[in-house]
């Protein structure tokens, strides 16, 4: 599973295949689309009747100096204009309605698809790129539905009508006019290829731009702390230039097509005047017919002049649709359990990948795992955690501690070995059920926009307000929440920026507890809080972990001395296991880590 932008740049999706797939989104609203398209011939008839009314007025009234019936023709001309306006309004409204419904469905499908993507997918694709798919790319398709499709369909009826009328009025003059059409077709084909490539590159560069913006706005605190403003501005200028270049190229091709069509249209009018003027002299065509021909030629080239704009919309939409479908074609995470032939597994499961009575025993047996093939993060890791046991995992940064938690939650699957819960391989369990049994508290707490109550409950309506309050009291969060102006309904801004680090951490504890997990995981959960808050958390943890299988990952060794056992990871391997005292007596890796931290605290105390 690679980066979807890279795959998009180098793969080719044929237009008809893409269009066929786009059409599938029309199906639920085909009655609206059909109604909109059925109005187009009537609009074309009204529009094409106007030059003919002018012809009649010139030949029958102006040239003959006869005003009889002239007022009626004027009223017919006015009526055709009003009718064209009303039908165009109706047609556009119906098409826009269908287009917005289609876009809504597509956005929901994209968002739902992203929610079901595996964790590893987000390691390889930037937030900005994915946001661009759901916003800018979908908006390009919206423009195609409302402007491109309707425009091309309307133009088709008008061009077809003009060809028929011109051939009916004067075959020779019509054929003279149409001699330049093959030249237009050649230019359109060349333009199509060049414009498509430019628009593909535009979408990719826009993703890069959005990714950079997202990263720098999210990390604005770090930017300012390290005075990176000037460097970031230069980098943004570079990325913006990369985005500007394909845009200018696209505009260049648009301008060439527009200017060329203008030139061809002017040549066509000149041919009509030259050839038609001679026919007037020979009295084989009327002056009114010549004027009508000029009007029809203008109407013939008007949609072709607009072709550059409409084609740009279509090309952007095609490029966007390729990116959207490329994302939708990425395989979603499989939540269903893998089949197991173990008779023991069958006896303890309910047939839906759920254990009948989870106790909380966890076994890692000869586990190997790598994010990149061959580069193992965990090597031959084996340990057992008994139900209700509190264990700590310690080790240097990058030793694989957090990876163990990701494997336990099945964000990733192991390369070799087994991970068992109550003797059952977790690959035989339903992922959704498994994750409901494990509450994980991370160091970097993520809070959603909303209020405190919704952030603790996380949309699970079966959790009552009383349960939320009780959990908050247990983790010592109730006091600070009660002091807020709106209490549990205090507004939480994006990422919880209006709350302190310690307050956000306490809320994450309440969130973990209220779901009543069988297994509790604390991943560096107390490393970023002050001493007072840590004291409150330690008090809560003692109650929280009682009778519950608990895994604590921590850098501060002082926070894990009361656990039942400590597992020391070093370079992806289990090197030591035992209690705090046992490991100190062993005088190995844990002893050295403890000595380093103890020495640091002594030096810190002497400075203070």
d(CA 539, CA 537): 5
The encoded tokens of residue 205 equal 């560069």
Q: What percent of the chain has pLDDT over 90?
A: 14
Nearest alpha-carbon partner for 583 in 601, 559, 557, 603: 557
| Longest distance between any two alpha carbons in the chain, whole Å | 120
pLDDT of residue 284: 67
Band (pLDDT 50/70/90 cuts) for residue 348 is: low
CA R_g for the chain: 35
Tell me the per-residue pLDDT of 18-44, one tens digit each, with 9 for 90 and over.
778 888 888 888 888 889 888 988 988
Tell me the per-residue pLDDT of 279-302, one tens digit each, with 9 for 90 and over.
776 666 778 888 888 888 888 877
Band (pLDDT 50/70/90 cuts) for residue 567 is: very high
> Kind and range of the H or E element at 523?
strand 519-523
pLDDT of residue 599: 58
d(CA 450, CA 275): 73
Distances (CA, A) of 536 to 68, 102, 390, 526: 99, 52, 19, 10
CA 284 to chain centre: 64
The encoded tokens of residue 189 equal 């084909």
How many residues comprise the chain?
Answer: 608
Helical H runs in 116-228?
Answer: 119-124, 127-132, 138-143, 150-169, 171-178, 181-218, 220-225
Q: Which residue has the higher pLDDT, 340 or 382?
A: 382
Q: By three-state DSSP, how is residue 549 classified?
A: strand
**Strongest mean pLDDT among 212-216, 277-281, 353-357, 410-414:** 410-414
Tell me the per-residue pLDDT of 80-95, one tens digit each, with 9 for 90 and over.
999 999 998 998 889 8
The encoded tokens of residue 530 equal 């002050």
Sign of CA dihedral 466, 468, 470, 472: negative
Burial 280-305 (b: 16+ CB within 10 A, else e): eeeeebbebbbbbbbbbbebbbebbb
Give the pairing of strands 390-395 and 450-451: unpaired
78 has a pLDDT exceeding 90? yes
603 has a pLDDT exceeding 50? no
pLDDT of residue 14: 44
Nearest alpha-carbon partner for 193 in 260, 258, 249, 261: 249
Distances (CA, A) of 146 to 37, 187, 288: 12, 26, 37
d(CA 44, CA 60): 24
Q: Map out the domains of the chain with their CATH numbers.
A: 4-328 (1.20.1560.10), 388-414+425-607 (3.40.50.300)
pLDDT of residue 453: 92
Distances (CA, A) of 166 to 136, 273, 443: 42, 15, 75
Residue 566 · residue 418 · CB < 8 Å: no
d(CA 310, CA 145): 11
For the chain, the first-to-last Cα distance in angstroms comes to: 52
The encoded tokens of residue 141 equal 């398709």
Tell me the per-residue pLDDT of 65-74, one tens digit each, with 9 for 90 and over.
777 878 898 9
Q: By three-state DSSP, how is residue 590 classified?
A: helix
Residue 315 · residue 196 · CB < 8 Å: yes
For every residue of 75-109, DSSP letters joined together read: HHHHHHHHHHHHHHHHHHHHHHHHHHHHHHHHHHH
d(CA 468, CA 456): 7
Q: Compute how many other C-beta atoms are within 10 angstroms of the C-beta atom of residue 507.
A: 23
511 has a pLDDT exceeding 70? yes
Nearest alpha-carbon partner for 409 in 367, 373, 437: 437
pLDDT of residue 531: 66
Tell me the per-residue pLDDT of 147-203, one tens digit each, with 9 for 90 and over.
666 677 778 888 888 888 888 888 888 888 778 778 777 777 777 677 777 777 887
């Amino acid at each position: 599973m690679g980066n979807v932008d890279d795959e998009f740049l180098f793969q080719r999706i044929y237009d008809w295949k893409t269009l066929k797939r786009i059409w599938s989104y029309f199906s639920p609203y085909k009655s609206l689309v059909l109604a909109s398209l059925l109005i187009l011939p009537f609009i074309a008839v009204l529009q094409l009747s106007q030059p003919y009314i002018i012809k009649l007025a010139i030949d029958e009234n102006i040239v003959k100096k006869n005003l009889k019936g002239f007022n009626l023709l004027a009223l017919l001309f006015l009526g055709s204009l009003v009718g064209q306006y009303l039908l165009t309004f109706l047609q556009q409204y119906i098409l826009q309605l269908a287009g917005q419904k289609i876009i809504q469905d597509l956005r929901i499908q994209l968002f739902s698809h992203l929610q079901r993507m595996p964790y590893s997918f987000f390691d390889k694709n930037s937030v900005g790129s994915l946001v661009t798919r759901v916003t800018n790319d979908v908006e390009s398709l919206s423009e195609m539905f409302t402007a491109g499709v309707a425009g091309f369909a309307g133009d088709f009826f008008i061009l077809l009508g003009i060809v028929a009328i011109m051939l009916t009025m004067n075959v020779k003059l019509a054929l003279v006019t149409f001699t330049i059409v093959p030249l237009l077709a050649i230019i359109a084909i060349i333009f199509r290829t060049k414009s498509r490539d430019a628009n593909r590159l535009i979408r990719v560069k826009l993703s890069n731009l959005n990714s950079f913006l997202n990263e720098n706005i999210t990390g604005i605190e770090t930017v300012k702390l390290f005075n990176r403003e000037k460097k970031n501005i230069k980098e943004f200028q570079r990325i913006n230039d990369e985005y500007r270049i394909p845009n200018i190229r696209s505009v260049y091709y648009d301008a060439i097509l527009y200017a060329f069509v203008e030139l061809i249209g002017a040549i066509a009018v000149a041919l009509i005047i030259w050839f038609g003027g001679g026919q007037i002299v020979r009295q084989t065509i009327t002056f009114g017919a010549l004027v009508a021909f000029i009007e029809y030629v203008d109407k013939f080239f008007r949609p072709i002049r607009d072709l550059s704009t409409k084609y740009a919309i279509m090309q952007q939409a095609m490029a966007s649709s390729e990116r959207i479908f490329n994302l939708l074609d990425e395989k979603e995470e499989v939540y269903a359990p893998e089949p197991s032939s173990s008779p023991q597994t069958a006896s303890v499961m309910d047939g839906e990948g759920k254990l009948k009575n989870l106790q909380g025993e966890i076994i890692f047996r000869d586990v190997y795992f790598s994010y990149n093939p061959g580069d193992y993060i965990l090597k031959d890791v084996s340990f057992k955690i008994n139900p209700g046991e509190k264990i700590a995992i310690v080790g240097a940064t990058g030793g694989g501690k957090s990876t163990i938690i990701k494997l336990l939650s099945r964000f990733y699957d192991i390369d070799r070995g087994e991970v068992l819960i109550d003797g059952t391989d977790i690959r035989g369990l339903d992922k959704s059920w498994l994750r409901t049994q494990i509450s994980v508290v991370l160091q970097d707490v993520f809070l959603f926009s909303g209020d405190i109550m919704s952030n603790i409950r996380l949309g699970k309506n079966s959790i009552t307000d009383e349960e939320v309050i009780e959990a908050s009291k247990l983790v010592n969060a109730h006091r600070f929440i009660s002091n807020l102006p709106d209490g549990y309904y205090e507004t939480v801004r994006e990422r919880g920026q209006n709350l302190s680090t310690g307050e956000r951490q306490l809320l994450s504890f309440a969130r973990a507890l209220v779901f009543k997990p069988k297994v509790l995981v604390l991943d560096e959960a107390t490393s970023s809080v002050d001493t007072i808050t840590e004291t409150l958390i330690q008090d809560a943890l003692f109650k929280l972990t009682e009778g519950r299988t608990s895994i604590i990952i921590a850098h501060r060794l002082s926070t894990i001395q009361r656990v039942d056992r400590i597992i020391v990871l070093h370079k992806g391997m289990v090197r030591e296991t035992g209690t705090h005292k046992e490991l100190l007596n062993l005088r190995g890796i844990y002893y050295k880590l403890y000595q380093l931290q103890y020495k640091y605290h002594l030096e810190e105390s002497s400075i203070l």
